[in-house]
Every structure is written in C-alpha cells, then in structure tokens.
Structure 1
Amino acid sequence: MPVHHASPSLLAIETATELCSVAVHCANQIWHVSAHAGQQHSEMLLPMVRDVLSQANMTLADLDAIAFGAGPGSFTGLRIACGVVQGLAFAQRIPVLPIPSLEALAQVGSGQVLCAVDARMGEVYAAHYAVSPDGVIECVRAAQVLKPEALLDQMAAQNFITLIGNAWKIFPVLSDWGRGHAQKIIADVYPDARQILQRALVHWAAGLAVSAELAHPLYVRQRIALTTAEREAGQRL
C-alpha cells in the first residue's frame, strides 16, 4: 500500500448513469473529461482515463488510490466502473475508494438534501442527506429504490432546502411536490467524477480506502436481469 499522503494523487471514475466521466487530482489541481456515453461506457472509459492522465502529465504509477461512483445506478455501468477500477488498482497495488454516487451528488446542495435519480421501470433511487455549511455530509436515510409515490409518502412531513437529481423533472408527481417543499430544485445534474473526487478526498483523509478485492458496487435494486418481455419492450436496469 502507498504512503498515506495528506494531499493524495487520485483517479476518479463515474459511470452510474449515461454520463461517463473521469477526473484526476494531483497537487491540489483537478483535471476532468466527460461525455454522454449512452451504453458505450466500456468502449469509452479506458481512453478517457488515458486522456485525463495525459492532461495531468501523470501515469497510473503516480496514483495513491482510485475512486469510483459505487452507485446506485445502471447495473452495467456500475459493473464496468468497479471492474476497471479493480483491474487498475490490482496492477498498481493501490487501494480503492468506493463512493456512493448519491452522496457525491449531495455536495451540489446544502441543508436538508434529497437526491433522487431515475432508476427506470417507473422507480427512483433516492437518499436523504444533511449538508452542513462547511460541507460535512451526514446520511439521514441511505439509498433505496422505490416508486415516486412511495418516496413522497416517506417524506410528506419533511421540508428540504435542496432537491437534486433528474427524477425531479422526469416524474411530474415529484416536480409538483418539490415546488411546495423545497427552496431549490437542481434537476439538470448527473453524478460526475469531479464530485466523486471531492468525496474521495474526504474518504481518504478518514482512512476509508479498501483493497481492490473488497470494492463492490452499491446496487440497491436486487434484480440483476430483465425478463425477455421487458427487454423486448426496451426496458433497462
């Protein structure tokens, strides 16, 4: 394992949604690349890693650890991110920082924050965080997958400062509720490697890095396959 530097050199990967992004931190600077990948994450990810490392004039050998957005999100995207990160980390003998994607997204807000992103199949991934003025994030309710109406039943008596995630514009029932229960709605945002990187720095300082074999995605939804009829209807997990 590497020496535990106070300002580590970290690579971060986020592929939990259709946005594929990679970022690197070194000497208090950040380099970043991103693209809407659709279902092409596996083809795009490693070239993006090479690109961002080249921008930073770094190689994999310069890294102290690798972080990734652990989810919840697309099953395929999460498996790709975890597999690539494990392979790179094993090769360099460095640890991994699995970062909950909704925790990273919560950094965009302040106060009581409810993150909700489209989970497909008429459901959302949601998590409730308290974000202090100095950026400390406390998980109030861990990530779960549920129908939008069930989320509102849980949160009916709660007022939020910020609602974050694309579910707040995709589902009308959430949009309508949000306008009466939050000061701000930030819907046009996806989990991004820069957000993962910022949380990874916090997790690194807290000693939360793990060996590569212990890193795993945060699936939340337990179904890992669609029926033939669901696939033919164009549904995706």
Structure 2
Amino acid sequence: MQAVLWDMDGVLVDSEEYWVELEEERVLPEAVGEGVVADEEITGMNYREIYDYLEAHYGDQLRVDRETLEAHYEDAAEELYGERVDLLEGFEGLAEELDKRDVALAVVSSSPHDWIDIVLDRFGIREYFDAVVSGNAIDGRSKPEPLVYETGAAELGVDPADCVAVEDSENGIEAANRAGMTSIAYRTEINPGMDFSGADVVAEGPDELRETVLAVVDGER
C-alpha cells in the first residue's frame, strides 16, 4: 500500500462523541423529534448535507429550516475543535512509521476546510499530510459518495487500489469501498453498535488501530 487516507471526526480526533451529543440533545429533536433518526444514519455526512437527508427521508416531520440546522454545527465547531477534542493517541508515532515506509498520508473529511485547519494547526500535525480534502468543498457530494476518496487518491498521485482508508462510520466505509480502497473501520466507545460488516478490517482502540494500519500497509493483513 502506498497511502493511508484518514477520516478526521472520530478517527484523527475524538470529536464524534461531541457531535453525537449535540445531535441527540438538540439538532435532531428540534428538527424531526426525539428518537426519530438513528445516529448512524448521518454519521460521516457533511453537516450541510444532513438537512438534505432529513428532508428526503423525514420531510413530513421536518420542522426547522436549513439555516437553523446548519447554525447549530457552525456555532459549535470552533470551540469543539479548538478546545475540547483530543488527538488520536499515538498518531504522530504511527505517522512517522508510515513515513519511514514512504507511505503518503491525506486527511479526507466531510468537514469544512477551516474546521480541518483548526485541528491540523492546534495539534501541529499538518507536516504529516501530503493532501487535505474537504468533502464540503467538492460539488456538494460527500460520504457515502466516493468522490472525496477518489479526489484524495488523485491529489496524492496514488491508485485507489493502493490506498487504505481509516473510517469510523458506515457512510465513510461505503465511500472508501466505492472508491476501490481497502477500508479499516475504527471502533470506539462512541460507535460500539455501528455495522462495520462492509469494512475489510475492523480495529478497536488506538493500539489495535496502529497495529492494523501497519499490517495492512505491509501486506500482512
């Protein structure tokens, strides 16, 4: 394998638990009512596409406008990424191991570029990445569409078949698979019941993820 492409939310940083909390306690109850939408339905989606999803699947129950829903995410993002989230344990060491193998790295996230920039700059990890792709900036088509991963591979100059994608959601796994990549699902305390049957490999916790990424890159799994 020549490249590893990283999802940001829930993988590089533990932001997913904060977004889920926001969605469960405020966004979804206000938009369609409590207990109507399951978290995994929207996990991994661009926040601007969530309204489209709710309108398409729960249109008769939708009771907020697009601006109101998007504002919840935008208002929370700066504090969340700038102060609350933590970086994936051991990421820098893993990135250095991959660099020794001449493996390229990219961030491939549904989040806006300025949110990604906060994370890269706050933790000082921008130097590890050869490309940064925001699904928010790609023709309105984010995960589970494969375009973000196809774009990431193109920016790295690597065939998708030679890429590994690390994801924490069903939508992300589907996007990586449709792009023709090997997919690693990262299971954490926030997604214990997520259906990862579509992933090529599942890793639980940061230590197992590190071992799994290196094993897949080295062709041992």
Q: Same fold (TM over 0.5)?
A: no
Q: Which has the larger radius of gyration?
A: 1
TM-score for the superposition, normalised by structure 2: 0.29
TM-score for the superposition, normalised by structure 1: 0.28
Comparing both structures, which one devotes a greater share of its residues to strand?
1
Q: Relative contact order, CA 8 A, sep 6+: which one is greater?
A: 2
